[in-house]
Structure 1
Amino acid sequence: MPIPTHEIDAAVTACIYDRDERKAPDEHRRGKFLNGWEDATRRHKVYEADALERLTWKNLGYRLGQRFGALEPARIDSVFAYLAGAWREPKVVE
């Protein structure tokens, strides 16, 4: 069963960071997202606060992995696909 999109949206909205440095989603970034998710759930890594000051696909995967727990790769891919579809170039604040 996929994670409901409103739950994904709420989890992303709850993320605290200084700047969004995500680039356009592609297969490489999908892999980074999956690695971040598995860092949180399978490898039990702890990302330092300074790494979380900026939002990347990898640490977004990590944050969502912390929130939703271990899932099979197909379910994680569906979360990435949803986020990739909603992704927009971050606006630069001057």
Structure 2
Amino acid sequence: MVNEALTYEADKRVFPDPDDQRLDVFKEGWRKANNGEEYGENAHSELSWHNLGWRLGKLFGETSEEMKDEMYMWSVKQQREESGH
């Protein structure tokens, strides 16, 4: 289970724009994980904002909205640093 949450073959996340809804997509994935929804094997091969939220939701469970926001912003920062943007 933890291995599925941490591995992927391709990062398909799009860089967030200030006006986009990626935070909402991320939180929706987190909500689905907390509701017990499972993803198929193919979802684990690519990383998206939705399934990143799901993966973190599986690892951390239900948390405050502030913590989800913080995890999302940390993920955006890590993505930018890794890509050199």
TM range (shorter): 0.7 to 0.9
Q: Does 1:44 align with 2:40?
A: no
How much does 1:25 deviate? 2.2
Gaps spanning 5+ residues in structure 2: where? none
Q: Deviations over 1:39-62 (max 9, x none)?
A: 101x21001111121000110110
CA distance in 2, matches of 1:86, 1:17: 16
Rounded to whole Å, the distance in 1 between the matches of 2:44 and 2:6 is: 9
Given the alignment of the two structures, is residue 84 of structure 1 paired with residue 76 of structure 2, yes or no?
A: yes
Alpha-carbon distance between aligned partners in 1 of 2:63 and 2:6, rounded to the nearest angstrom: 20
Identity percentage of aligned residues: 33
* Structure holding more helix per residue: 2
Task: Select 1:25's aligned residue among 16, 25, 35.
Answer: 16
Render the CA deviation track for 1:18-77: whole Å, top value 9, x for unaligned.
Answer: 111000024411111100011101x21001111121000110110111001101211101
Q: What amino acid is the match of 2:30?
A: W
**What is the TM-score when the length of structure 1 is the normalising length?**
0.72
Q: Does 1:55 align with 2:51?
A: no
TM-score, with normalisation over the residues of structure 2?
Answer: 0.79
- Listed as ranges, the gaps of 5+ residues in structure 1 are 1-10
